[in-house]
A and B are shown apart, each in its own frame.
Chain A
Amino acid sequence: MSANLSAFLYLVAGVLFILSLRGLSSPATSRRGNLLGMIGMAIAVATTLANHPPADGLAWLLVIVGIAIGAAIGAVIARRVPMTSMPELVAAFHSLVGMAAVLVAAGAFYAPEAFDIGTPGNIHTQSLVEMSLGVAIGALTFTGSVIAFLKLSARMSGAPIILPARHVINIALAVALVACIVGLVVTGSAVFFWLNVILALALGVLMIIPIGGADMPVVISMLNSYSGWAAAGIGFTLGNSALIITGALVGSSGAILSYIMCHAMNRSFISVILGGFGGETAAAGGATGEQKPAKLGSADDAAFIMKNASKVIIVPGYGMAVAQAQHALREMADMLKKEGVEVKYAIHPVAGRMPGHMNVLLAEANVPYDEVFELEDINSEFAQADIAFVIGANDVTNPAAEEDKTSPIYGMPVLQVWKAGTVMFIKRSLASGYAGIDNPLFYRDNTMMLLGDAKKVTENIVKAM
């Protein structure tokens, strides 16, 4: 196959990847988009195998076995993973992209002739620059994603780990990393290559450990972005347009998602990166001390009030996912609809642990996507709703974000549930939320607290209906 034809086919693959993301503009076109992505990938792989076939029988065997192992593991994971675990799965996938970037660069470093970038020990300077950037970002993505995975899957505490003088350490590491990149480019020595890898691995760990659990949606989006930039760096080394296009797409996608998440939390990207947020649990809420009365309700009361309502807006949060209450919730919504009640769902951008997580969980429970609304689209409707049914969410409904200038979450866009006739909160306790901030809504006259496990309470309401 001529080099021109293969370059053209890589371009086709790149365009198919663009179309696969474009398909996600609506659920109706998304499935075809995903299919186009798969076709693009098949074209890229086939082109590479046709243009640079493995050198001998053993190499073919390695390639086929490698693909088979990866395909089997990937397929099993994709079928088995519960939807609640999507954030940690995505973090794990990011780490694999990062590691793959490092390994491909290592392969190119030891066999540069296969990549047309020079001969061993004598690689083009420009390729070394591209390669070392790809390696550094890839290694950083790898360890950063591993830490994010451990935090998201609760194998490690979500609390920020603050090392003394961490900024000094990080800056020192970054400077050393740059020095190693320069060293690698100037000398082409393997020692600098691996030092580069080690420093970037360490930096990845240190960058993510001080970031608290509440900021995980930003972290996971940011790592998404990094994995894209790493791929683009390797794409420059290989001179492969499919890889360059994809890297750019993924890099900007992750950056946009990080921006959306930061905006939804009213936090600056810099303050998230610097870390430390979400650790001082209840320091703000607990200090006020005074015992305020909250109105407790029973499942029967809730069922009665809701059946007689004309409009109910359900606000799901991460607590719903933890309790696996989405199916019971859908059942409740179905019964309400039978009674002629209008039911809608309101989703805050940072509900859940990753962008769009709540939407997937509701879709899994067969909630039609045209009943699910984003914050800007539904906030004006709370005033006309009889009931706001908040299940497993807290901080995203906190009126302090609009009313209390001293609150740490002041300025964050929130769902204005308090404008509804009655607010029902399903919570395990009156404790403060993930961000450690007291919610004054619990103690208002039109609020009814339904304390208990989200799933059990919802099931009891269904029974009472």
Chain B
Amino acid sequence: MEHAAQVVDPFIFRLSIFVLAVFVGYFVVWSVTPALHTPLMSVTNAISSVIVVGALLAGGVANVSSGSGWARAFGFVALVFACINIFGGFLVTQRMLAMYKKKAK
């Protein structure tokens, strides 16, 4: 076995994160109370819009070719969509959660 030459592909690290996160998600989501399943869906909507980081990369690319012009255009539209989701998702979740009250004693 040679030790020095073996480099793990970054893909394997990403895959490890992914697989572990699926398990974390499995246990965390089962612990969500059924009464909050609707806010769960709206907040997962909001957080999956972290895809906005991709939109920022594409929208802010240096304008050097026709390809990067297209990338900017796609990035801009993606940015708008993702931001609608981020703001809409978090705020509507906040609005819903504010309504859940305990019995007044």
Contact = CB atoms under 8 A, between A and B. Distances in A.
A263 to B, nearest CB: 12
Contacts of A30: 36, 39, 97, 100
A265 to B, nearest CB: 15
B95 A369 contact: no
Interface stretch (A13-21, A294-302, A303-311, A448-456): A13-21
Interface in B24-52: 24-26, 28-52
Given A20-B43, A37-B47, A371 B103 contact: yes
B74 A103 contact: yes
Interface string B1-32: 00000000011001001110110111011111
Interface residues of A, number: 119
B82 A78 contact: no
A394 B82 CA distance: 38
Interface residues of B, number: 84
Contacts, number: 402
B32 to A, nearest CB: 4
Contact of A24 (B33, B60, B70): B33
Nearest to B24: A18
Contact of B83 (A70, A242, A347): A70
A34 B45 contact: no
Interface stretch (A94-102, A269-277, A407-415, A427-435): A94-102
B38 A357 contact: yes
Contact of B51 (A86, A231, A252): A231
B44 A67 contact: no
B25 A249 contact: yes
B44 A96 contact: no
Interface stretch (A106-114, A280-288, A385-393): A106-114
A253 B84 contact: no
A348 B68 CA distance: 52
A253 B70 CA distance: 34
A245 B67 CA distance: 30
Contact of A45 (B41, B53, B59, B84): B53
Q: Which of B11, B35, B49, B103 has the most CB of A within 10 A?
A: B35
Interface in A212-226: 220-221, 224
A278 interface: no
B44 to A, nearest CB: 4
Given A100-B51, A357-B38, A369-B35, A70 B84 contact: yes
A95 to B, nearest CB: 9
Contacts of B65: 120
Contacts of B60: 52-55, 59-60, 62-63, 114
Interface of B: 10-11, 14, 17-19, 21-22, 24-26, 28-63, 65, 67-68, 70-72, 74-104
16 contacts: A21-B25, A41-B49, A70-B80, A74-B84, A74-B85, A78-B94, A101-B51, A110-B68, A111-B70, A120-B67, A126-B11, A240-B54, A244-B18, A244-B21, A254-B41, A354-B41
